[in-house]
Amino acid sequence: MDASETVKKIRFTLNGRPVSATVESHVDLVDLLRRFDLGGARESCGQGLCGCCTVVVDGVAMSGCLTLAQLVDGKRVDTIEGLDQTGALSPVQQAFIDEGAFQCGFCTPGFVLMTHQLLERNPDPSEPEIRDYLAGNLCRCAAYPEIIRAVKSAASRMRASAAA
Amino acid sequence: MRGFELVHPGSLADAIGLLDTDDDTVRPFSGGTALMLMMKTGVFRPSRLVHLGRIGDAYSEITASPAGGLRIGAMATLSALEHSPEVIRVAPVVARAMTRLANVRVRNVACVGGNLAHGDPHMDLPPVLAALGGSVSVAGPQGTRDVAVEKLFSGYYETVLGRGELITDVVLPSQRGWSSAYLKCTTRSADDWPALGVAVSLRIEGGAISEARVVVSAATEILTRLTTAESALTGAAADESTFARACEAAAAEAEMVEDARGSADYKTQLLRVYLRRALTQAVQDGAVS
C-alpha cells in the first residue's frame, strides 16, 4: 500500500493550542502526544484496562492506547499537561498532593483526569460512586485509600469554590 | 500494527458501498475498542477500515416508542445507553448491565452496533437484548432486513451479517409487564471477561409466570436461549421450587465450553446458582410499568 493512503495530515486543538501533525494510520493517540513531547499519558496495559493513558477528547475521557491518532482530526484534545497552564495546580492535583495519593506516580495523570470527569458530572459523589467511576484505573502501588480521600477532598474544595 | 487506509464515509449508503467487497481485510470501525485489541495483537491486519463516525447523528439516537419499546441507534455509545433516561425507564436492566461492563472510558467510545457485530460471546449486552426480545435492523447492498438478536450469532466471533451489511438500530418490543435481570460471574478478577452471563425476562401475572426468556452467554460458544428452562418456568408459580426445576433443566441443556475461566462442570454449577439468583432478582426488581 502506498504511503499516500496511510499517512494523513491532521489538525486539532491540543490543550487549547491549534496544532497539526502528519500521522500514519496505525499510530495511536499516546504515540501522537509523545511527538508533542507530552509524556503524561502513558501506555501501560495497552488494552484500555488501566487508565494510565487517559486523554480527554471533545470533553470525553478515553483510553489513548485504543484511539487511532487520525481520529482526533478536528477535535479538542486535553491532557494532564493542560490542567495547570494558568500556573496553578487544579484542585484535584492539589488534593492528590495533600492526601499523598500516589507513590510512584505512573497512574496519577489518569486518576486526576478521571476525577475531573467524575466531579464535572457529579460534584458530590458517594464513596461507592467514586469507586465505580475509578474502577478502570489501576494503581499498582495500591494508594487507593489515599486516592479516594483525595477525590472527596477535591470535591468539597470545588463545591466550596463554586458556592463562593 | 501496520499501516492501513482509514476512510470516513459521510453516509450509510457510502459506508455500505465501501464494505461491499469479498476482501476480509476491509472492516467497519465504530468505537474500535475491540478491533484495536485484535489489531495490536496482530490477530487482525486490516488493509482498510471504514470509520462509521461520520455517517450521521441519527444513527446514535435513542428513542422510546409510545407502546413501551425502544429504538437504539447502532452508533449510540454504551455510556449513552447507561445514562439515557429512556433506557433507564423502558429497559432498566440494560442501563444496570452497563455499570459493570469494562470501564468508563471504554463505555464512552464503544458502540452498540459494534458490540453486537463483533460476535464475541463474552459480551454483556447481547444476552440482555436477546432476553428482552430485541432485534436488529440491518442495512446492506440488497436493502434492509430485521434479525432477532438471539439469531444474530452463527459461531464463535461469527454473525449472520453478510457482505456489506451493517447493523443500523436495535429495536426492543414493549417491556411493559416484563421483569428482567442480568448477572455475570467473573472467576479470575472482578474486571475479567465473564465465565458466565445469564439474562432472564419474565412476565408474571397473578403470581404465575406466563412467559419466560432465559439466555446464557460467555460459557457457551454462542449466546443460547435455554428453552427447556423456559418451559419449566412457563405456567408455573414464580417461586423457589419452580426456579430450582428451571435451574436443573438449564444445567442439563446448556453446552458449556471449558477454558481458562473454568471447566465445563464448574460453569454448569455456576449456571445453576446464577440462574436462580437472576430469577430471584427479576422478581424482586419487579415489572416495567
What pLDDT digit, counting tens, does each position of B246-263 carry? 999 999 999 999 999 999
pLDDT digits (tens, 9 = 90+) for B37-50: 999 999 999 999 99
Give me the percent of chain A exceeding a pLDDT of 70: 98
Average pLDDT over residues A37-60: 97
* Residue in the block written with cell 495523570: A109
User: According to CATH, what is the number of the domain B179-285?
Assistant: 3.30.390.50
Average pLDDT over residues B192-196: 94
* Residue in the block written with cell 496482530: B42
What pLDDT is recorded for position B112? 98
CB distance B33 to B104 below 8 Å: no
User: What are the angstrom distances between the C-alpha of A90 and each of A25, A84, A102, A115, B22?
Assistant: 34, 6, 16, 11, 52
Cell reading at A26: 496505525
Give me the percent of chain B exceeding a pLDDT of 90: 97
Half-sphere exposure for A32 (CA within 13 Å, toward CB): 32
Architecture of domain A3-82: Roll (3.10)
Residues of chain A contacting B190 with CB distance shorter than 8 Å: 135
- Is the per-residue pLDDT at B15 higher than 60? yes
* Residue in the block written with cell 470545588: A158
Give me the percent of chain B exceeding a pLDDT of 70: 100
**Preferred mutation among B48, B75, B103, B193 to probe A, highest tally of A CBs within 10 A:** B103
User: What are the angstrom distances between the C-alpha of A131 and each of A45, A137, A138, B78, B188?
Assistant: 20, 10, 11, 19, 20
Q: Is B106 within 8 Å of A66 when comparing Cβ atoms?
A: yes
CB distance B230 to B212 below 8 Å: yes
Amino acid in the structure at residue B55: I
The mean of the pLDDT values for chain B is: 97
- Is the per-residue pLDDT at A4 higher than 70? no
CB distance A52 to A39 below 8 Å: no
Cα A96 to chain centroid distance, Å, stands at: 14
Q: Is A136 within 8 Å of B33 when comparing Cβ atoms?
A: no
Average pLDDT over residues B182-203: 95
How many whole angstroms separate alpha carbon B60 and alpha carbon B109?
A: 12
**Preferred mutation among A66, A117, A130, A138 to probe B, highest tally of B CBs within 10 A:** A66
A126: three-class secondary structure by DSSP? coil
Per the model's pLDDT, the better-predicted residue between A85 and A137 turns out to be A137
Q: Which of B6, B40, B108 comes nearest A70 by C-beta?
A: B6
Q: Is A60 within 8 Å of B108 when comparing Cβ atoms?
A: yes
DSSP conformation class of A58 = T
For chain A, positions 13-32, list CB contacts with chain B under 8 A: 24-26, 28
What pLDDT is recorded for position A5? 82
B78: three-class secondary structure by DSSP? helix
Residue A126 Cα, gap to closest chain B Cα (Å): 15
Average pLDDT over residues A89-95: 98
The mean of the pLDDT values for chain A is: 96
- What pLDDT band is residue B2 in, cutting at 50, 70 and 90? confident
Amino acid in the structure at residue B243: F
User: What is the dihedral angle through the alpha carbons of B82, B84, B90, B93, rounded to the nearest 10 degrees?
Assistant: 10
Q: Is B6 within 8 Å of A25 when comparing Cβ atoms?
A: yes
User: What are the angstrom distances between the C-alpha of B26 and each of A147, B47, B81, B155?
Assistant: 44, 6, 28, 20
Q: Is B3 within 8 Å of A7 when comparing Cβ atoms?
A: yes
- Is the per-residue pLDDT at A42 higher than 90? yes
Residue B172 — φ and ψ, nearest 5°? Answer: -105, 135
The domain spans of chain B are: 5-51, 57-172, 179-285
- Is the per-residue pLDDT at B1 higher than 80? no
pLDDT digits (tens, 9 = 90+) for B146-167: 999 999 999 999 999 999 999 9
Q: Is B51 within 8 Å of A117 when comparing Cβ atoms?
A: no
Please indicate if any CB of chain B lies within 8 Å of the CB of A49: yes
B63: three-class secondary structure by DSSP? strand
Amino acid in the structure at residue B132: L
CB distance B218 to B121 below 8 Å: yes
User: What are the angstrom distances between the C-alpha of A29 and each of A21, A26, A81, B6, B8?
Assistant: 12, 10, 15, 15, 18
What pLDDT is recorded for position B189? 86
Residues of chain B with a CB closer than 8 angstroms to some CB in chain A: 1-6, 32-33, 36-37, 39-40, 47, 49, 51, 53, 99, 102-106, 108-109, 190-191
Residue B113 Cα, gap to closest chain A Cα (Å): 18
What pLDDT is recorded for position A2? 59
- What pLDDT band is residue A89 in, cutting at 50, 70 and 90? very high
Using H for helix, E for strand and C for coil, what is the string for B8-50? Answer: CCCCHHHHHHHHCCCCCCEEEECCCHHHHHHHHCCCCCCCEEE
How many whole angstroms separate alpha carbon B85 and alpha carbon B95?
A: 9
How many whole angstroms separate alpha carbon B50 and alpha carbon B5?
A: 8
CB distance B70 to B27 below 8 Å: no
pLDDT digits (tens, 9 = 90+) for B55-96: 999 999 999 999 999 999 999 999 999 999 999 999 999 999
Sign of CA dihedral B195, B223, B126, B56: positive
What pLDDT is recorded for position B268? 98
Q: Is A1 within 8 Å of B104 when comparing Cβ atoms?
A: no
What pLDDT is recorded for position B175? 97
Cell reading at B20: 461491499
Q: Which CATH class is domain A91-163?
A: mainly alpha
What pLDDT is recorded for position B122? 95
The domain spans of chain A are: 3-82, 91-163
Amino acid in the structure at residue B239: D
Residue A136 Cα, gap to closest chain B Cα (Å): 5
Q: Is B36 within 8 Å of A66 when comparing Cβ atoms?
A: yes
What pLDDT is recorded for position B80? 98
- What pLDDT band is residue B191 in, cutting at 50, 70 and 90? confident
Architecture of domain B5-51: 2-Layer Sandwich (3.30)
Residue B48 Cα, gap to closest chain A Cα (Å): 9
Please indicate if any CB of chain B lies within 8 Å of the CB of A135: yes
CB distance A73 to A13 below 8 Å: no
Architecture of domain B57-172: 2-Layer Sandwich (3.30)
How many whole angstroms separate alpha carbon B211 and alpha carbon B234?
A: 6
Average pLDDT over residues B238-251: 98
